[in-house]
Amino acid sequence: MAFKKALKMLRPEYILAQELIAARLRAELSQSELAERMGTQQTAIARLEAGRSSPSITTLRKLAAATGSRLVVKLEQGAVRSR
């Protein structure tokens, strides 16, 4: 039971990490190439893609611009409730 709850709480970070990887791959960029376009280090991109870092909106905007993507942020009713 605790495992399922922990998994649900991690899900948004996992989904975001997968979206970041997908955007980079669509743009046909390596982590190093993306980092160069964003003005950061490859290790920072690796942390984002591993879900070990929570990116700011500014970082997400830079990543979107660097990959030719459009950033969309939304909150949906009925999401996982935290107490």
| Model confidence at 10: pLDDT above 60 | yes
18: left (phi over 0), alpha (psi -120 to 50) or beta: alpha
pLDDT for the residue 75: 87
How far is the C-alpha of 54 from the C-alpha of 12, rounded, in Å? 11
CATH hierarchy code of domain 2-67: 1.10.260.40
How many Å separate Cα 11 from the centre of its chain?
A: 12
Tell me the pLDDT tens digit for each residue of 14-29.
Answer: 899 999 999 999 999 9
Are 69 and 23 in contact, with CB atoms under 8 Å apart?
A: yes
How far is the C-alpha of 29 from the C-alpha of 43, rounded, in Å? 15
Q: Which sequence spans correspond to the domains of the chain?
A: 2-67
The whole-model pTM stands at: 0.80
pLDDT for the residue 32: 98
pLDDT for the residue 11: 82
